[in-house]
A and B are shown apart, each in its own frame.
Chain A
Amino acid sequence: MFMEVKRTVRFLLQYFSANLQSAMEYRGAFISQIIFMFLNNLMLLFFWWVLFTKIDSLNGWSFQQILLLYALAAGAYAFQALFFAGSFSLSSTIAEGRLDFYLTMPRPVLFHVLVSRSSAAAWGDLAFALTIFIMAASPSPSMMLGFLALCLAGGFVSTSFSVLAHSLSFWLGNSVGLASQLTEALLSFSLYPEGIFSAVTRLVLYTLIPAGFVSYLPVRILSEFTLAHAALMAFFALSISLLARFVFYRGLQRYESGNLVVINAAD
């Protein structure tokens, strides 16, 4: 078991390193992507700052909690984009027959596709997440560890949700647009405070579009830690990961390949 985990982590890091090297081939683009992603995130936060200069709280949410929300959402997204960026283009990989390469390799197909890409811009998200978290919480080392663990769990949730959305391509054909809309919906909802939504919407956000597990619940865990919430978070992250895996492999049986000319280039 330990050896298997070690092998898997090594494999992930090899891909991560190859992606990083590939992105750094274009030094200017690499650095500017990171900087602009950081600034872009900061701009989004700027509007909340303007709002909170007029009000003290928004349905029970303070500006500090908004900062935590953004830090956690950006952290989860950064985790997905740095290690599992293959999830962003999974539907086109399926629809264009690009799974062939992964199917001829002796590695688990889903894991291999997910780790095969890494987004350079996500370094900007990671830097943003850490900066904002340090600013908002002045964390102790253990709190920092907790934050990273929650970003990791949130990243698993968003990656799994992407896999579920993009796997629709196995049944619907080319569903790149639909999958993008669903994954963007998850990201958008995870950047708004839970308090502004009605009970029905919240139910949707803890089930069908699980933004609640990407940012709302993690914010609650960081603000008022309870073991039950932490366990719920871990349980959901694990469950949706297993569900995504199950759905992907069911869909894979319907895979029909294709004859598109393909090159192996990082995004």
Chain B
Amino acid sequence: MAVIEVDGLCKVFRTKSKEPGLWGSLQAVLRPTYSEVTAVKGISFQVEEGELLAFIGPNGAGKSTTIKMLTGILNPTGGSAQVLGLVPWEARRQLAYNIGSVFGQKSQLWYHLPALDSFRLLASIYEIDTRVYKERLHRLVELFELEEFIKTPVRKLSLGQRMRCEIAASMLHKPKVIFLDEPTIGLDVVAKLKIRELIKRLNEEEKTTIFLTSHDAGDIEQLCRRVIVVNHGEIILDTTTSHLRHNYLTTKLVNVKFGAPCPSLSLTNVEILKHTEKGVKFRMNTKLTAVESVLTELFAQVKAEDISVEEPAMEVIIRDIYARPVQEGDQDAAG
């Protein structure tokens, strides 16, 4: 069952444009000129119940604008959307009881108070019954391992601890769908891993549908089964994470250590990066030539002692997607 249904959603912002400098500012005051910026250009997609979806794109791609429309913060310029059967910008308050949101750059916790006080206040905002709140709090403290610092003022927490509290806070009312806008922004490697583990547990144990935006390829690779890539307000790719990896994982870096010295080597359709008597390092594209044929050609010339094949990181794949046109069949792959 689809919990999020988006059809032709678009958002146009009207912005004031001005020439640089003081003269430009004076002109803008006397004779302002406006231009329209289309942040989201008629996107359509569906998210099924329990899905863990990555909604990614470069800065200014329209990710946050889309989330803001789906949570009822912004009114769209056109198109339609339903979250849990409700139109977000029309039934915002009703929807708020059933969704949670974490904006990595906007805290919902009180800076000078312990997270526990913010939780209490949020329980009051969501009108959670005291007994239910206590049970829920106990569960979240356990799940997010908050016991150690839940009574410490938020200003004294590390960013990772604060983010754990933020996500727990957004889960107090047991939402069916949670929107996470860059939840790992600014975190160190260890804190990132912890947050990812918690998001995964949340999805598996509570069956919460998770709609995640991130700039971090690791978030997508380690968490999500499906990826929607947006750029310039349009969906340029909607596919599974594994399909993304296989379809775009065409470049491989091969490192070979020779068993015996080999001064000369001839390989077709590869880019040799480094060649010494003891070994060779080359880059190949699996779309041009199969790994097997390259290795066969190699073994015919030299005896290999060790071979390693490296795949590009997800980050590189994503950068590649932003730069090149969409390939056939990508849009259907997730279905």
Q: Which residues of chain A have a CB within 8 Å of any CB of chain B?
A: 7, 10-11, 14-15, 18, 21-22, 25-26, 98-101, 103-108, 112, 173, 253, 255-257, 259-266
Which residues of B line the A interface, CB within 8 A?
A: 13, 16, 64, 68, 71-75, 92-94, 96-97, 99, 101, 103, 105-113, 117-118, 120-121, 124-127, 153
A14 CA to B126 CA, complexed, in Å: 12
Q: List chain B residues, Cβ under 8 A from A261.
A: 105-106
A207 vs B256: C-alpha distance when bound (angstroms): 85
In the complex the two chains form, what is the Cα distance from A10 to B120 in whole Å? 13
CB atoms of A25 and B72 under 8 A apart = no
25 contacting pairs across A/B (C-beta < 8 A):
A18-B113, A18-B121, A25-B113, A100-B106, A103-B71, A103-B92, A104-B96, A104-B99, A104-B101, A105-B125, A105-B126, A106-B96, A106-B126, A107-B93, A107-B125, A108-B93, A256-B74, A257-B74, A260-B105, A262-B105, A263-B111, A264-B107, A264-B109, A264-B111, A265-B111
A26 and B111 alpha carbons, distance in the complex (Å): 13
Residues on the B chain within 8 Å of A173, using CB: 16
Task: Take A25-B153, A262-B106 as given contacts and tell me if A105 and B96 are in contact as well, using a CB distance cutoff of 8 Å.
Answer: yes
With beta carbons under 8 angstroms apart, the residue of A11, A257, A259 that contacts B73 is A257
**Smallest beta-carbon distance B10→chain A, Å:** 15
B73 touches A22 (CB 8 A): no
Distance between A82 CB and nearest chain B CB, rounded to angstroms? 17
B111 x A256 contact (CB < 8 A): no
- State A14–B13 Cα separation when bound (angstroms): 37
* A100 in contact with B112 given A18-B117, A25-B153, A261-B106 (CB within 8 Å): no
Q: Is the CB of A253 within 8 A of B110?
A: no
Could you tell me the distance in whole angstroms from the C-beta of B164 to the nearest C-beta in chain A? 16
Asked whether, in the complex, the Cβ of A259 is within 8 Å of the Cβ of B127, the reply is no
Chain B nearest Cβ from A265, distance in angstroms: 4
Give 20 A-B pairs besides A18-B117, A108-B93 with Cβ atoms closer than 8 angstroms: A18-B113, A18-B118, A22-B112, A25-B153, A26-B112, A100-B68, A100-B106, A103-B73, A103-B92, A104-B71, A104-B72, A104-B73, A105-B96, A106-B93, A106-B96, A107-B93, A107-B125, A257-B68, A262-B105, A265-B112
Using A25-B113, A263-B107, A264-B111 as known contacts, say yes or no to A106 and B97 having CB atoms under 8 A apart. yes
Is there an interface contact between B124 and A14, defined as CB atoms closer than 8 Å? yes
Q: Are A101 and B106 in contact (CB under 8 A)?
A: yes
Chain A residues with CB below 8 A from B72, complex form: 103-104
Partner of A25, one of B68, B71, B97, B112: B112
Of B99, B112, B113, B121, which is within 8 A of A14 by CB? Answer: B121
In the complex the two chains form, what is the Cα distance from A112 to B121 in whole Å?
12
For the complex, give the distance between the alpha carbons of A266 and B107 in Å: 13
Known: A18-B113, A104-B101. A253 touches B75 (CB 8 A): yes
